[in-house]
Amino acid sequence: MTAALTGVVLLLVGGFGFLNGFRDASAAVALTVRTRALTPRIALVLTTAFNVLGTLAGAWLLKSMEIAFVAIPEGGDGLVLLAATLVAAIVWNVYGWWKGFPSSSTHSLVGGLIGASAGLALLGAHAPSHLDSVFWTSIGLPLILSPLLAFGAAFFLTPLITWMVRYSQPNQAHAGLRAVQSVGASIVAFGHGLQDGQRLTALFMVAALGSGAGFSSGLTWAMTAGALAMGAGTLAGGWRITYTLSHRLVRMDPLRAFVSQLVTSTMLVFGSLGLQWPLSTTHTVVASVLGAGANQEYAAVNTRLVVRLIRFWLLTPLTTAALGLVFALAFEPITALR
């Protein structure tokens, strides 16, 4: 029974990785497609390649720095915990995609983990320790700090870039910025893989080997599985969210799209390599888009949609925690069948 449950959990991890790439592909391709820097097909292929490279690099970072997501109980309780967490995150992420709302897959995952842990604790099972620190490092700080930094950096960089190209003809400036955007989209996709690839590889490792195993053994297959799942999802593309970012949220032009990608790529790569922060790609992209758009003289930002997005972001950890609790209580009897 344990082997079958392990197989189910591994399939759920793969499904979560596919959905992660499927939804977050929008963060890399939306602005590039909107400004016609790349065609949708070329943008998807390019970002898929760099997302896979970023996932592989993130797995290497996981090994070299010995970064772990969280230690779960061994045996059936740990597998039930992972299953409840992943199902809660997948259900909420599918709902967010259907609504066209960009939101953080990491926040839904951590929210589901906290709820599932509470459910197991209610049943007297062992729950992961140090969840308070996981909550603050994975939800609290990124939820508050990274969007503020991205918004502020994009807001103040926009007039600087505008001043730098003030003597260029608009068509010449836009042509050059569109050319740079293909590089920016690649770096954003790489940064997304670098960030989320660590967590996806760790989930594969923990699901297969248990919390007591080291990250050195079996890393190759987990890294490969994570890269394939993320790459397949990215190649599929989540166009509902792409449309929200590129058309509904802000009136975007090549200059402001370039500023947004510059801020996002810098924060994602530096956040992984320099600070080792689990930043949300979606929150960073949305905040930088809003920062660049808010600097326009005419009404460019869809304020009503922004309010709905912020409300959805705040509901993400709360709702997935509730779902994780329910699924943990529902799945726990499975361990009695061993």
Cα 284 to Cα 120, 142, 152, 155, 288: the distances in Å are 33, 9, 11, 13, 6
C-beta separation of 337 from 2 below 8 A: no
d(CA 102, CA 245): 8
Residue 15 belongs to domain spanning: 2-337
String of DSSP letters for 265-327: HHHHHHIIIII-----HHHHHHHHHHHHHTTSSS--B-HHHHHHHHHHHHHHHHHHHHHHHHH
Q: What is the pLDDT of residue 322?
A: 92
- pLDDT digit string (tens) for the chain, length 338 residues: 566 677 777 888 888 888 887 777 667 777 777 777 777 788 778 878 887 887 777 766 665 544 445 556 566 667 788 888 889 999 998 888 888 888 787 888 888 888 888 887 777 766 565 555 656 665 566 667 778 888 888 888 888 887 787 777 777 776 777 777 777 777 778 877 777 777 777 777 777 665 444 444 456 667 777 777 877 877 776 677 777 777 777 777 778 888 888 888 788 777 666 666 667 777 788 888 888 877 766 556 777 888 888 888 888 888 998 998 888 888 776 655 55
Q: Which amino acid is located at 142 in the chain?
A: P
d(CA 92, CA 212): 30
Question: Total structural domains in the chain?
Answer: 1
Q: Please, is 228 exposed, middle or buried when counting C-beta atoms within 10 Å of its C-beta (0-12, 13-18, 19+)? A: middle
Q: What is the pLDDT of residue 283?
A: 79
